Structure 1
Amino acid sequence: MQEVSQASLARLYQRFRALDKNKKGYLCRVDLQQIGALAVNPLGDRIIDSFFPEGSHIVDFPGFARVLAHFRPVEEEDTRVRDAKEPEPLNSRMNKLRFAFQLYDLDRDGKISWDEMLQVLRLMVGVQVTEEQLESITDRTVQEADEDGDGAVSFLEFVKSLEKMNIEQKMSIRILK
């Protein structure tokens, strides 16, 4: 497993405490909205939602660190062979893809429906594209990824459609800066 240095963990804890303006020992949605990288990300609200397990409105430091671990850049020089018994690092390609898939799969049914894809694309392109163009892009995106013809994108289809993308580096947020 990729080790996080004590210094990095200490800096992350300092960042957590800086976001916790009222020294509550936990963060809420408003606290997380202060993170610049999330504020400018079109999926920022969905990423913020991922900090809060169902029904929860607060996140403690371990939960904060666990979610952010998905966004930790992958060290390219880390070529060690991982023990099969070791859990896969949260910032591995597959875990980054699982996390990204959940940002699209709002109803958590294991598939990205046409409507869910449209919602995400609408967030990502904003007002530069007409609704008709957006629906056309959604049609094409779902069609290209949907190999079994069920009109939705499964996790495996999602993974396959992104196989050429450098997700390890593109899905990184430098939280400590």
Structure 2
Amino acid sequence: MGNASSMLTQYDIEEVQEHCNDLFTQQEIVSLYKRFCQLDRNAKGFISADEFLSVPEFSLNPLSQRLLKMVDGLNFKDFVAFLSAFSNKASIQQKIELIFKVYDINSNGKVSFNDMLSVFRDLSGSFLSEKQREQVLSGVLEEAGYTIESCLFLDDFIKVIGNSGVKMEVDVHVD
């Protein structure tokens, strides 16, 4: 499985399936492998940031620069593990853990008001003023029992986001 041009064996498929907690079927893993090989243009066995940016849906995402830090250099097994948070079978907890990593800008295990504001700025663009962003975000925090001075750890972040009806799903087209 180290070389992207090699074929997956049944053992490889089962190993990847186990690595992603059975969130993808074996057929979906084979389809993801084909897509991985297409992205891995030089057959290095991993996908670079530039290769990820070749995916239009990814490059157009307002959070693509944040996501690039998480996906640059992923091998196939880790590529599938990353995508597993987007599976319709993934739990809300798994989805929120990925969102937390996006918000945790400096990877210190906590999210500050400024971290959240920065992500909110990326997501809202010029549609909201800075003052409106701050008001919305402080209102959301206040409703959850936090202030703008609070730093949220993962458990806190789950409390704030957990009841928001998070939707993060991608369809894996099986050939």
Scaled to the shorter chain, the TM-score interval is 0.7 to 0.9
Sequence identity percentage: 26
Please state how far the C-alpha of 1:150 moved relative to its aligned partner.
5.1
1:21 aligns with 2:41: yes
- Which has a greater percent of helix? 2
In structure 1, the partner of 2:171 is 174
After TM superposition, the score normalised by the length of structure 2 is: 0.75
For residues 89-113 of structure 1, what are the alpha-carbon distances to aligned partners after superposition, in whole Å with 9 as ceiling and x for unaligned? xx22212111111111112333211
Q: Which range moves more in the overlay, 59-68 or 9-18?
A: 59-68
Q: 1:3, 1:130 → 2: CA distance?
A: 39
1:140 aligns with 2:139: yes
Q: How does 1:1-177 map to 2 (within 5 A)?
A: 1-2=21-22, 4-52=24-72, 58-74=73-89, 91-147=90-146, 151-167=150-166, 170-174=167-171, 176=173
Moved over 6 A (4+): none
Gaps of 5+ in 1: 53-57, 75-90
For residues 22 and 93 of structure 1, do their structure 2 counterparts lie closer, same or farther at Cα, with a shift above 3 Å needed? Answer: same
Aligned AA (1:172): E
Q: 2:45, 2:109 → 1: CA distance?
A: 34
In the comparison of the two structures, how many residue pairs are matched?
154
SS in structure 1 at match of 2:82: helix
Aligned AA (1:23): A
Please state how far the C-alpha of 1:161 moved relative to its aligned partner.
2.2
